[in-house]
Amino acid sequence: MSALARPTHGRVIGGVCAALARRFGTSATTMRVIFLLSCLLPGPQFLLYIALWILLPAEDKTRTAW
């Protein structure tokens, strides 16, 4: 299982949904639809997205030079 990191390719805004989709084995489109539907419910979904955007490293920063 790979580390949770925002991909540099295939992301729409911040890459958070693409990173979560890769982690949970779903498509990025499915994860984006789930996120958009969750925004219809009360809660801090948008703030969580921004926090993950800030906290998750970009994919190129997590690669090691081994």
pLDDT for 6-51, tens place per residue?
Answer: 888 877 888 999 999 999 999 999 999 999 999 999 999 989 999 9
- Model pLDDT, residue 2: 59
Distances (CA, A) of 61 to 1, 27, 34, 56: 18, 23, 27, 10
**Residue 61 — pLDDT band, cuts 50, 70, 90?**
low
Distances (CA, A) of 51 to 1, 65, 66: 23, 28, 30
- Model pLDDT, residue 63: 57
**Residue 59 — pLDDT band, cuts 50, 70, 90?**
confident
